[in-house]
Structures are given as C-alpha cells and as structure tokens.
Amino acid sequence: MKRTDMACDFMPRDNSNNEYVRSFTVTVDGELSRKLRRPQGKYCTVECRAVRERNAVRFGEISLLLKDAIVRFVPDKARSVLVVGLGNPDMTADSLGAQTCSRLTATRALPQSKGTRISVITPNVLGVTGIESFDVVAGVAQRTKPDAVIAIDSLASAAVSRIASAFQVTDTGITPGSGVSNHRERLCRDTLGVPVISLGVPLVVYASTIIEDATGKECPEETADSVGSMIVTPKDIDLYVSDCADIISSAIQNAFLR
C-alpha cells in the first residue's frame, strides 16, 4: 500500500468532474477503517490546482470551502480554539504549520474580541526542543482549556498530482510526523479530551510512489529497497507553502469571526 495521509487517495478518482475547485467528504466507518488503516471519521478534501498554477484569483474560493469545513467540524458552542502549527519551521516542506500560525491573529487575550477566541502555538519538533509535540500541546490544552484544537501539518500523498493541490480537513485528529513516517503520539479527542480537527496539504511524496505513478506498476522490490524512504518535494516548495499558509490562515480566521 502506498504511503499517504490522504483518505481520498484510497477512493476512485472521478475523472468526469471537470470543476476547477471541488470539495467532497469521505466518511470512514469501522469496516473501511480496518481496510484502509485510517481512523474512523469524516475527511473533507478541497481539490484545486490554483496553488500549483499560481492562480491567486481562486485562493479565496478555496479558503471559503475550507472555512465551511472547519465550521462543520468545530462544536457550535466553542468559545475558544487552540491552533497548533506542527512540523519543523526550519524545513520548508515541513513548515506549513508554523507559517500558517504566523499569519493568524491570536484573540484569546483580547477582551473586546468577538466570535470564538483563538490561541496559537508552534511546538516545533522533538529534535529541536527535546520535547514531544504532544506533550507541549497537551500541557497548553490542560492549562487553557480550549473547546477544540486545530492542528496544521504538512502531509504526504500517494498521488503526485495532489501535491499542493489538495487540502484535507478531518475530525479524526493527527499523528505528528506521519507524513515522513516519523510517528509520534496522536493528537485526538481520546488523548486531549476535546475535539481535534486536523488540516493539512500534501507537500511531499515518496520516491517509490513516483516510480509507481510513472510506470503504472508496483515498485519492484529491489528498487524499493534502493530508494528506501527517500522523500521528494517540488522545487517551488517555498512558494507552495507560502500560498497554502495564506489560504489556510484566512479560512481559520474567517471561521471564527462570527
């Protein structure tokens, strides 16, 4: 099975749909969860080539669809949310969370703020801080008691065409580092005690996946052994991450200014 964080990678592609921006939701139930090895829950995907094509005119449309998905997943009575930017801010392909958070306005400490109050943290990674991301998030959540947590991270996809072209929002939480097979403790309702909505964009792909896409066949065992866990990212990744961070931060900000 290809390595991916995207639930839609397991679903048949609808090639008859020619919409430039499209949104669809996949519900993973118990049986499907066991088959796909994905947590049960709802996975909303917004697909669009605008970032790859540098078509900034359509960014607002993507942001609006993401905002709608976030609003559906966050409890109606939520008065405060904790936004967590996962990943390593010093590695471009892994900096989506940090770049998104840097664009948000934290309103938790503003008494005159309207709507749901936002607090923001970027815990960095274990190799830099010596502290697990989960421990940082759990400690802050325990102290500030948010009604929901929104975790943002870079993802991996099993389809090269989805790189910087698919935004996934899910109510199943997220495992930090899963995109690069560096699994840590999972952020979810069971571990944090509040709903955890994860939001991410595939920005990396495994070399073995590229080989399979190019040949239409499963990567030979000897080739898979040689490329190992090699991960590939586009040469324009800095532009892609910046644009995706703009879109996601706008969606989050607008979701709670109500």
Q: What is the pLDDT of residues 86-102, one digit of tens each?
A: 999 999 999 999 999 99
- Predicted confidence (pLDDT) at residue 157 exceeds the cutoff of 70: yes
Does residue 16 surpass a pLDDT of 70? no
Q: Which of 47, 147, 136 is nearest to 85 (CA)?
A: 136
pLDDT the model gives residue 6:
84
Question: Would you place residue 12 in the very low, low, confident or very high pLDDT band (cuts 50, 70, 90)?
Answer: low
CA–CA separation, 100 and 241 (whole Å)? 9
pLDDT score recorded for residue 2: 65
Helix (H) or strand (E) holding 190: helix 189-192
pLDDT recorded at residue 139: 97
d(CA 221, CA 102): 42
Neighbours of 93 (CB within 10 A): 22
List the beta strands (DSSP E) in the chain: 21-28, 41-48, 80-85, 117-121, 148-156, 166-170, 196-206, 231-232
> Residue 183 has what pLDDT?
59
Q: Are 201 and 242 in contact (CB under 8 A)?
A: no
Give, rounded to a whole angstrom, the gap between the first and last alpha carbons of the chain. Answer: 42
The mean pLDDT of 165-183, rounded to a whole number, is: 80
The pLDDT confidence band at residue 228, using thresholds 50, 70 and 90, is: low
List of residues 6+ apart from 244 with CB closer than 8 A: 51, 96, 100, 164, 167, 201, 203
Q: How far is CA 212 from CA 49, 159, 160, in A?
A: 22, 10, 10
Does this model's pTM top 0.75? yes
pLDDT of residue 197: 97
Across 93-137, the runs of DSSP E, i.e. the strands, are 117-121
Distance in angstroms (rounded) separating the CA atoms of residues 169 and 8: 11
| Nearest alpha-carbon partner for 250 in 126, 66, 73 | 66
- Report the pLDDT value the prediction gives residue 88, as an integer from 0 to 100: 94
The most confident of the ranges 33-37, 157-161, 174-178, 212-216 is: 157-161
Instruction: Output the pLDDT for position 37.
Output: 74
pLDDT of res. 160: 87
Averaged pLDDT, 232-253: 96
CB neighbourhood size of 110 (10 A): 11
Q: What is the pLDDT of residue 150?
A: 98
From the CA atom positions of the chain, what is the Rg in Å? 18
* Band (62; pLDDT cuts 50, 70, 90): very high
